[in-house]
Amino acid sequence: MGYRIMVIDDEKIVGDMAKLSLEQEGYEVETFLNAEPALARLKEEKFHVVVTDYKMKGIDGMEVLRTVKRDYPDTTVIMITAFANLDAAIEALRGDVHDFFPKPVKIKELKSSIRRALIKENAVA
Amino acid sequence: MKIEKKLIISSVINAAFIVLVGIVGFQYMNLVLTKLRFVEIADDLNASFLEMRLSEKNYFLFHNKETLVEIQNKIEQTRKTLKIEGNDIVRAIGVSDLRGLEMRLTTYETAIILAQGRAPQDPALESSIRTAGRSLKEYSDSITQLERRRVNEIILGSKRFMLYSFWAILILSLLISHYISQKIVRSLRGIEAMTKSISGGNFNRIEGLQTKDELGAVVSAINSMSEELAHREEQIIQSKKLASLGILTAGVAHEITNPLNNISMIAQTYDEMYDKLEEQDRKSFMQRVEAETERIRKIVKNLLDFSKPKEAHPREADINTVIQKTLMLVQNMIDVSGIETSLQLHTDLPHVFVDEHQIEQVLVNLITNAVQAMSEGGWLVISSRSHNHGESVEIGVCDTGKGIPPEFVPHIFDPFFSTKGDGGTGLGLSVSYGIIKNHGGEIRVESKVGVGTTFTVELPKYSHQDRVNNGSESLSDRTQLNKELV
């Protein structure tokens, strides 16, 4: 199954490493350094999962979450953040985020989370 | 106790003088009274003697024996008077003169008595009566005159004495009080100058006023208080720095999370995909790890630099560089607060002569205050420009926050003044003020409630004089220099 995953984080390494690891699982991965081109891309192509950083310059993670949930309700959003902050987590949860990972991220856990999300998506679909 | 002692001594001296003069005056008075008393008595006596001599003449004219009896009675009376007033008389003229009087009186009496027993017209008798009478009268007269003259002399003398001693006392007490008060006023002026300079933030000792009296004690108390204040100021700077360290540390911790995450993700991927990676990729991974650790090192160093207590080590610098470095320190705080930043830094600014760390601390303080005054969506404008035809450089920190009420504005740089319940971050405006002052600059504020606040820091440009002075760390030379220029 050609599941497409989008990774948005202003740290280049995050995207690079995530791409390498996730492609091992057979996903198609596209990475972005900020949210604007990412959201534009979403208009062109369906993505099953969007992994986004919480705090970025310009459009931040919460806005990505809101946009995706509004325009692409089938798409799962997972947040990663340097902010280990309860308020941020609650805010994201209320925004219907699927999962929330404080940095440093354990890639294995990220993969599990993505897997669960896709199962859920398939079940719903 | 020196001054107190001096005051007591001088009061005692003055009092002693006055008492002395009083005593002498009193003595004079007594003397005059005594003499006058005698003159009174003498007048009476002389009147009696006159009567006696008149009676005498009477006798020689009419040879009436009763006249002689009259004279004798008078002589008796006179004797009585001399006895009664004996003390007063002696006090005035002395014992020997009194005896002289008594003697002549006796001689006269003897002559009179003899005359009563003899035939009237005995020329020898008459002549002896006359002689005795004359002698008595003349003696008495001369004494009286003498005493009168003495009284005059005494009055004159005491007048003169009073006058001189009045002037002497007046001048003496003026001199003494002038001398003492001069000392006190001089010391007090020194103390006043000292306290003025201390409240201006200049904690230098005052020398040259160390006397061993009460004022000396005050001066040395002020000196040690001044030292204490200088210490406290250092401590305040340190503790405020530590408080701001709290905020900055949180920011730094956050900043470190990203490089750490990067290293972690690289390591995880390296571990998981070791076999599938080409050697070039593996090497590249490790290099990227190294780059991330370098990133962490810089962040930590920034923080350490900020927290070091330092003496001012000024050098030539470009103010824009300092501003940029400061922004690195506070970037996270700004991001988190949802505030937009705008940088308006002019290029080609003249260099300044500053201790970069201290200026960074001031800017952190101002930016922190600005951020805290605003809620999300506010604007922070940081600007730099040259001022006064290139003689100085101005840095502006402008926010669109809640502003400072006009009644607080004049106090905003006061030590310990705070409008927030000291969640005090940054150094506090009073310390910032002190730092800028030490650099020979100025820090000003304009604010409007509900609109925003602008802090302006003006720093003098780097001059060749600074290079010459650069051996010493003293920025206070610069303060002096600028005072002369302005």
Q: What is the rounded CA–CA span in Å between residue B319 and residue B302? A: 18
Domain B313-486 falls under CATH 3.40.50.2300? no
Q: How confident is the model at residue B307 (pLDDT cuts 50, 70, 90)?
A: low
Residue B316 in this model has a pLDDT that exceeds 50: yes
Which of B214, B215, B220 is CA-nearest to residue B186?
B215
Q: What is the rounded CA–CA span in Å between residue B130 and residue B108? A: 9
Choose among B265, B276, B288: nearest Cβ to A107: B265
Which bin fits B25, alpha (ψ -120 to 50), beta or left (φ > 0)? alpha
Domain B222-309 falls under CATH 1.10.287? yes
Choose among A13, A20, A55: nearest Cβ to B288: A13
Domain ranges of chain A: 4-124
Which element (helix H / strand E) includes B168?
A: helix B123-199
Choose among A18, A57, A103: nearest Cβ to B258: A103
Contact between B437 and B255 under an 8 Å Cβ cutoff? The reply is: no
Contacts of B330 (CB under 8 A, 6+ apart): B248, B251, B364, B367, B368, B371
On whether any CB of chain A is under 8 Å from the CB of B267, the answer is no
Q: Is the peptide bond before A102 cis (omega within 30 degrees of 0)?
A: no
Q: What is the rounded CA–CA span in Å between residue B73 and residue B81? A: 12
pLDDT of residue A82: 84
CB atoms A14 and B272 under 8 Å: no
Q: What is the DSSP string of B328-366?
A: HHHHHHHHHHT-EEEEEEPSSPPPEEE-HHHHHHHHHHH
On whether any CB of chain A is under 8 Å from the CB of B464, the answer is no
More confident residue, B225 or A72: A72
Q: What is the rounded CA–CA span in Å between residue B125 and residue B110? A: 11
Which ipTM did the prediction report? 0.92
Residue B422 in this model has a pLDDT that exceeds 60: no
Contacts of B464 (CB under 8 A, 6+ apart): none
The structure's pTM equals 0.47
Chain centroid to CA B99: how far? 71
Domain ranges of chain B: 2-181, 222-309, 313-486
Q: What is the rounded CA–CA span in Å between residue B413 and residue B435? A: 12
A57, closest residue in chain B (CA to CA): B335
Condensed to tens digits (0 to 9), the pLDDT of residues B231-260 reads 887 787 777 767 766 766 776 777 788 899
CB atoms B265 and A17 under 8 Å: yes
Q: What is the rounded CA–CA span in Å between residue B250 and residue B282? A: 33
Helix (H, G, I), strand (E, B) or coil at B453: strand
pLDDT of residue B200: 67
What's the fold here for domain B2-181? A middle domain of Talin 1 (1.20.1420)
Architecture of the domain spanning A4-124: 3-Layer(aba) Sandwich (3.40)
On whether any CB of chain A is under 8 Å from the CB of B288, the answer is yes
B291, closest residue in chain A (CA to CA): A13
pLDDT of residue B469: 59
Residues, chain A, total? 125
Q: What is the rounded CA–CA span in Å between residue B208 and residue B275? A: 83
On whether any CB of chain A is under 8 Å from the CB of B273, the answer is yes
Which site among B256, B260, B261 would you substitute to test the A interface, given the most A Cβ atoms closer than 10 Å to its Cβ?
A: B261
Range in A115-119, B77-81, B281-285 the model is least confident about: B77-81
